[in-house]
């Protein structure tokens, strides 16, 4: 019998990480997961849990020791924490993971950053990996610095690739996915955004992360995107696929751009976070942030499914857990 491959996953208790763990287990991997004492581990009973956080160096070293691959997904956004914590977790946490990987006989590190560190440039409709953008806000800035740390690790100490998912859609995501579904199926929801985005199903991102482990080149970056859609189009396609009626009231771009406080009022009314928060992030929501996944497609064999392929599973979760 061949020995199974071994993976260590940070962020294993999160939306994307739990899905990655499920997939690794299904594929016969031995999986170690980092979990905070308070984390909800769901039904991932076959994961070997290492209890601690990104700042617990001893646990991190045990987690990564002798492993084939470290999937570093733990991260935090401005939805859930203030800028200081965002910096600590995303940049300093990545530094601690890389530190633990040095001299620990780790095969490869696959770091999950965000497409947000790239933006379309010079009138182009789509951004690719080369379109490095001036970061907006603590989330993008901390991820950009973490990417630089990972690049340096790949240059000097080890083997590492970085993936950049766009907006991930799937069951279990109470932020972006729940918002988008609510706009598609609840006619009472107050607003939807101008602008556009790339929406990628969570199962496609998991495939892309595994492909980056298997076929990525150390030091390289790969955008893992999905369909590029205006918000209007995304909402109406969800409505068609889910049999709802899309939100009818459109909030003008100017209102959103003006908007930290307006956004907060809408959030309070809707009892859910609808908008990204500071003024700069609000500005981004009014733009078309479209991405090309061509490099991942050519070099990793990455493919993504249309939005409709991901709606039924997400809808089933939404009806059961959110609505």
Ligand X SMILES: NC(=O)c1ccc[n+]([C@@H]2O[C@H](COP(=O)([O-])OP(=O)(O)OC[C@H]3O[C@@H](n4cnc5c(N)ncnc54)[C@H](OP(=O)(O)O)[C@@H]3O)[C@@H](O)[C@H]2O)c1
Residues involved in catalysis: 143
**Whole-angstrom Cα distance, residue 260 to residue 285?**
12
- Beta-bridge mates of residue 111: 72, 162
The correct pick among 54, 86, 239, 282 for binding ligand X (CB under 6 A) is 54
To ligand X, the closest distance from the beta carbon of 139 in angstroms equals 7
Q: Any contact of residue 53 with ligand X (CB under 6 A)?
A: yes
Question: Can you tell me which of 7, 74, 136, 144 binds ligand X, judged by CB under 6 A?
Answer: 74
Determine how many CB atoms are found less than 10 A away from the CB of residue 48.
11
CA pair distance 293, 127, nearest whole angstrom: 9
* Position among 5, 23, 36, 288 found at the interface with ligand X (CB under 6 A): 36
**Binding range to ligand X, per CB under 6 A, among 60-68, 162-170, 232-240, 286-294:** 162-170
216 binds ligand X (CB under 6 A): no
Q: How far is CA 203 from CA 20, 232, 237, 279, 298, in A?
A: 8, 24, 19, 32, 19
Can residue 208 be called a binding residue for ligand X (CB under 6 A)? no
> Any idea how long the chain is?
323
Choice from 39, 218, 280, 287 touching ligand X (CB under 6 A): 39
Among 24-32, 119-127, 163-171, 298-306, the segment contacting ligand X (CB under 6 A): 163-171
> Tokens in use for 147?
């990417």
Site string for ligand X, 170-199 (x = CB under 6 A): ------x-----------------------
- From residue 10 to residue 29, the character string flagging contacts with ligand X as x (rule: CB under 6 A) and all else as - is -x-xxxxx------------
Give yes or no for residue 281 binding ligand X (CB under 6 A): no
CB-based contact 197:166 (threshold 8 Å): yes
Specify the residue, 14 or 201, whose C-beta has the smaller distance to ligand X.
14
Provide, rounded to whole angstroms, the least separation between the CB of residue 261 and ligand X: 25
What mask, x for binding ligand X by CB under 6 A, covers residues 87 to 116?
Answer: --x---x------------------x-x--
For ligand X, which is the closer residue by CB, 104 or 179? 179
- Residue 290 token pair: 């479209």
63 binds ligand X (CB under 6 A): no
Q: Which of residues 231-250 bind ligand X (CB under 6 A)?
A: none
Task: Choose which of 120, 165, 208, 216 interacts with ligand X (CB under 6 A).
Answer: 165
Q: Measured from the CB of residue 322, what is the shortest distance to ligand X in angstroms?
A: 15
Nearest to 166 by CA among 211, 190, 202, 194: 202
Distance in Å from the first CA to the final CA of the chain: 47
Give the nearer residue to ligand X in terms of CB position, either 42 or 265. 42
Instruction: Region of 66 please: left (phi>0), alpha (psi -120 to 50) or beta.
Output: left
Q: CA angle 73-213-61, nearest 5°?
A: 55
For the purposes of burial, counting CB atoms within 10 Å of the CB of 37, is it exposed (0-12), middle (13-18) or buried (19 or more)? Answer: exposed
Give, as one character, the DSSP assignment of residue 28.
T
To the nearest 10°, report the CA torsion of 34, 35, 36, 39. Answer: 150
Q: For binding to ligand X (CB under 6 A), which residues are involved?
A: 11, 13-17, 34, 36, 39, 53-54, 73-76, 89, 93, 112, 114, 165, 167-168, 176
């Amino acid at each position: 019998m061949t020995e199974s491959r071994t993976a260590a996953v940070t962020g294993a208790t999160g939306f994307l990480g739990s899905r990655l763990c499920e997939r690794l287990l299904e594929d016969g991997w031995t999986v170690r997961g980092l979990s905070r004492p308070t984390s909800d581990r769901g039904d991932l009973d076959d994961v070997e849990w290492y209890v601690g956080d990104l700042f617990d160096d001893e646990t991190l070293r045990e987690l990564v020791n002798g492993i084939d691959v470290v999937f570093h997904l733990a991260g935090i956004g401005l939805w859930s924490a203030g800028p200081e914590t965002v910096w600590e977790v995303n940049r300093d946490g990545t530094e601690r993971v890389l530190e633990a990987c040095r001299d620990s006989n780790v095969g490869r590190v696959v770091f999950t950053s965000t497409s947000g560190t790239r933006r379309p440039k010079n009138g182009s409709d789509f951004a690719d990996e080369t379109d490095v953008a001036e970061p907006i806000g603590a989330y993008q800035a901390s991820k950009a610095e973490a990417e630089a740390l990972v690049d340096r690790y790949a240059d000097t100490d080890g083997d590492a690739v970085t993936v950049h998912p766009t907006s991930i859609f799937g069951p279990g995501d109470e932020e972006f996915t729940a918002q988008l579904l609510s706009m598609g199926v609840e006619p009472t929801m107050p607003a939807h955004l101008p602008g556009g985005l790339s929406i990628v199903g969570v199962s496609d991102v998991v495939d892309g992360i595994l492909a980056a482990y298997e076929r990525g080149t150390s030091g390289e970056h790969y955008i893992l995107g999905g369909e590029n859609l205006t918000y209007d189009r995304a909402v109406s396609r969800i409505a068609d696929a889910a049999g709802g009626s899309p939100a009818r009231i459109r909030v003008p771009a100017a209102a959103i751009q003006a908007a930290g406080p307006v956004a907060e009022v809408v959030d309070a009314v809707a009892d859910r976070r609808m908008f990204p928060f500071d003024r700069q992030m609000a500005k981004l929501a009014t733009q078309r942030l479209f991405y090309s996944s061509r490099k991942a497609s050519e070099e990793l064999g990455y493919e993504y499914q249309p939005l409709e392929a991901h709606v039924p599973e997400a809808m089933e979760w939404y009806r059961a857990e959110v609505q």
